[in-house]
Structure 1
């Protein structure tokens, strides 16, 4: 794929199930889809011969990109006519038909294509639900699978990376860490693979990266200075005084100390 000229690796243009032109509308968004299967560009073309659907691009499992509808025309992909007329649809092949994930090569190529389209059509830096949307935003569907869930942060981080690279855009310094962020929960998500690796993880976590990575390292290697001893009795007194809220708020704020502190509270209050 030539991302500068938007020339796909292969052009296999649909002969039906699309509409010429865009009805006077301008492109203002990208819609991402998944195949619900391991399709090639040819596989998409064949499927859409008997199904009233189409998309502009297909990103194969290998990262190879095919074009099926020219950008200037309206593909039938969004389940919403105005969204069809104002968007470019990108299909992605799945590499797992149970988890509905996409391969690293598909993710990288798809994100690069999103960046190139945003640059070419003046949409600005790729942002989720601003100029990049999942199919499920416009229809009652699970599409685009994990691109909208566990792989979203990495996908968008790579799209932003490629946009910055292609435009010479200088990324602003990250804002200070947001108060109230549950760093332990973020660390759990990182360990579960939901924030990618390396630069993608750093971009996705932003100002929280260092604090979260420290927690991750401690959990995985145990190499960290021992935390100071927690005064559980003092925490229990604070809980009884109402300083830690109730229910989930209390559980979140006490973190790993919740069970021990709650046991002390129960003993004091219930005997």
Structure 2
């Protein structure tokens, strides 16, 4: 009976440790004992007493539960990086949770705990390697001139496509081939944030009368469609004799000029 009680207490501590780790987005090994004690509803001294004075007992119990307690870079960081590498090297189909767990040196249950499945992991990869963080940062301190705003938007998109590992072309390839696939689901989850950033960058110029009052989705498609298409096709066209593609920076300037002609009032 005594051993059963001890086992149940340890299971409660493991549950508390995992909850505290999820709340802080860290490995269990990186969560302070005071935070684990608070999650378990006990004092730190009581927690240490139940652990026999050593944190190692808790880490071992977490391992027995099928979860890596960590102590290295957080599972989340390792898994996002591993998933992006697999997708860039071998395509989105190779980005299985088993393959990610093996490359990230973590357990499969820990991936389910941190990301809530493969779609959650893919969403985290898109957020890390896509243009969204740069666009949100730009929207918090936008340039005053519309021309500078459009140029900055294009630089953010090009930077995202060139970011290593180059996972964004793989995501778009899956998006175009499977409109209801995992890439589409991941992108839809972030569309509200993407549109919010673009609205904050473009709509003030609509209100000022510089941009014609077109629906925001049309403004966004006119903005991103040509550049994304050019970027995706560029590796195919570059070896073609007579393609004569301009350098990337020059192409951005040409697309920006074309966009401004399309959406602004002609003077």
Shorter-chain TM-score above 0.5: no
Higher strand share: 1
Higher helix share: 2
